[in-house]
């Protein structure tokens, strides 16, 4: 499921799945990146966060009104030609506060804590998506290496 990384939304998603199929394994796609420069992290996840926010367009009643408005803006402005790029209008529609809640971004220990919390809600697996396709390859690689080295072992532990 793609409901963002807020615990209440993940819990809601799990409840929706369990109501239909109590025994099916449940996974969540989460947009995440780790590092110490929060503004830079927001920029590298912005593209993929816009895709995930767009996926929420048919479930906005489960969102706070302000988040539903963000999803509506993303959906209104969605342009397939700029899909998965940070410069896309739909990606620019995402306020920083939304990104901070909807994604898992921040220092490694913060990311470990947030991902562990999501798994503890009953997820069987998490699929992590990081930087958008227009992110500088060196920046993407550095972020992914740090995530693999510092976050994944902490979540597994």
Mean pLDDT of 93-106: 98
Identify the helix (H) or strand (E) that includes residue 99: helix 96-102
* pLDDT attached to residue 69: 97
E strands, the chain, in order = 27-34, 104-106, 125-129
Q: How confident is the prediction for the chain on average, in pLDDT?
A: 96
The span from the CA of 97 to the CA of 22, in Å, is 34
User: Could you read off the pLDDT of 18-72 as tens digits, one per residue?
Assistant: 999 999 999 999 999 999 999 999 999 999 999 999 999 999 999 999 999 999 9
pLDDT at residue 155 tops 80: yes
pLDDT at 157 over 90: no
- Chain centroid to CA 36: 18
């Amino acid at each position: 499921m793609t409901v963002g990384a807020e615990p209440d939304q993940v819990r809601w998603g799990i409840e929706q799945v369990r109501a239909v199929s109590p025994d099916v394994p449940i996974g969540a796609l989460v947009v995440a990146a780790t590092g110490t420069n929060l503004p830079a992290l927001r920029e590298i996840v912005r593209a993929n966060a816009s895709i995930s926010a767009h996926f929420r367009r048919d479930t906005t009643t489960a969102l706070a009104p302000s988040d539903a408005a963000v999803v509506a803006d993303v959906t209104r402005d969605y342009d397939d030609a700029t899909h998965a790029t940070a410069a896309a209008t739909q990606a620019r529609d995402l306020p920083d506060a939304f990104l901070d809640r909807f994604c898992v971004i921040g220092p490694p220990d913060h990311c470990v804590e947030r991902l562990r919390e999501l798994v503890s809600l009953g997820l069987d697996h998490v699929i992590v998506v990081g930087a958008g396709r227009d992110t500088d390859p060196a920046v993407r690689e550095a972020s992914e290496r740090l995530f693999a080295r510092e976050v994944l072992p902490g979540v597994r532990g």
